[in-house]
Amino acid sequence: MSREFKALLVEQPEKKVFTRSIVTRSVADLPEGELLVKVHYSSLNFKDALSAVGNPGVTRNFPHTPGIDAAGEVIECSDGSFQPGEKVIVTSYDLGMETDGGFGQMIRVPSQWALPLPEGLSLKESMMLGTAGLTAALSVQELVDNGVKPEDGPVLVTGATGGVGSLSLAILAKAGYQVTAVTGKLEETAYLEGLGAERVISRETLMQGSERPMLKPTWAGVVDCVGGEMLSTAIKSTRNWGVVTCCGLVGSPELPVNVFPFILRGVRLIGIDSAECPAAPRVKVWQKLATEWKLDNLASMVDEVTLDGLEEKIQKMLKGGLKRRALVNLLES
Ligand SMILES: NC(=O)c1ccc[n+]([C@@H]2O[C@H](COP(=O)([O-])OP(=O)(O)OC[C@H]3O[C@@H](n4cnc5c(N)ncnc54)[C@H](OP(=O)(O)O)[C@@H]3O)[C@@H](O)[C@H]2O)c1
């Protein structure tokens, strides 16, 4: 096996400017770890876009290969947890942050970061889902575990055309929930309806009256990917004993809300952290994504690119203008 491979490398040649290029790297340059994996597919997440432009909240040490997602086959495993040739998914923990990630054809990681690919999913399908799918599934699982049932009323998904949003919408629809999708791209209404949205509304429609302390109780549950005013508006319009999950900050990291929804309606706000999520819930939701929540329309939710096509997707994602998740094919890069 060749010990050289292609990777996207982010560098900071002069102290301020970050550059991105496709280079040949060597396995010897990879960090320590028990597990060496030949990456077949990865996918682009918001954190990757931030890492690629040198955001210090994600990555501080350069040169660096981003990519918080990777799926591929085991080449070597020094502690015997996996056999050569076994198919694995590696997401989150420190992958792609300070540890060279899935935008390279090889990764070396601690073996406990990997999961065996669940039966029923291909490596390609697992990365069509990626961390966005894991996060969406963890969010939906929180609604289920906290008693939100399909017959309780509509569930709101914010940032609906985004990775986490579109997958949350599709999983909720598959699980029988009536989903209202809120989007800044109303021209994508037909796409969102195709994923299972019963209603598609604009950000402005959702935000009407958002300055008021409480709003009409509407949502049985909310999967929020945006944060800020949109999350606070969603909380204020959640029904009694409704459940709101919070995973993202594309709108804002602030949460300008009062206590009324919590003390007068018993609304529950639940944080989602896929990166450090313990193994048991992680395995449970991947299993569901391979079976009862397996999505037939996954291929329509992604655009496949090689490493060369990533730059354009990164720039669009940073501007909130990416329309489909980017699946990264490392085999053909
Ligand atoms: N906590 C975790 O474990 C975890 C895991 C994965 C991701 N995340 C976070 O979740 C968020 C979404 O990630 P993603 O990968 O789905 O990103 P994404 O694909 O870029 O999607 C974000 C979507 O949010 C909407 N949006 C963008 N800018 C906005 C703004 N200023 N105001 C309101 N809506 C805006 C857009 O959808 P519309 O145009 O349809 O509104 C956009 O497509 C990010 O903050 C990410 O860091 C967290």
CATH number for the domain that contains residue 174? 3.40.50.720
At 289-316, the pLDDT tens digits run 999 999 998 999 999 999 999 999 999 9
pTM of the model: 0.95
- Percent of the chain whose pLDDT exceeds 70: 99
Residues 153, 250 within the same domain? yes
Mean pLDDT over all residues of the chain? 96
In the chain, the number of structural domains is 2
d(CA 152, CA 221): 9
SS (H, E, C) 195-211: CCEEEEEEHHHHHCCCC
Query: Looking at residue 1, what is its pLDDT?
Result: 64
Separation of CA 164 and ligand 1 centre (Å)? 7
d(CA 199, CA 181): 6
Selection from 290, 306, 296, 328 nearest residue 72 by Cα:
328
Q: Write down which residue in 256, 271, 286 finishes a domain.
A: 271
- For residues 217-245, give the mean pLDDT: 98
Q: Which residues line ligand 1 (CB under 6 A)?
A: 45-47, 131-132, 135, 159-165, 183-185, 203, 225-226, 230, 247-251, 272-275, 317, 320, 322
In a domain, 161, yes or no: yes
CATH number for the domain that contains residue 68? 3.90.180.10
Expressed as residue numbers, the domain containing 84 is: 4-117+297-329
pLDDT at 180 over 80: yes
Separation of CA 225 and ligand 1 centre (Å)? 5
Phi, psi of 216 (to 5 degrees): -55, 130
d(CA 95, CA 102): 8
The stretches of the chain forming alpha helices (DSSP H) are: 46-52, 123-145, 163-174, 189-194, 203-207, 228-236, 260-264, 279-290, 310-318
Count of residues in the chain: 333
Separation of CA 251 and ligand 1 centre (Å)? 8
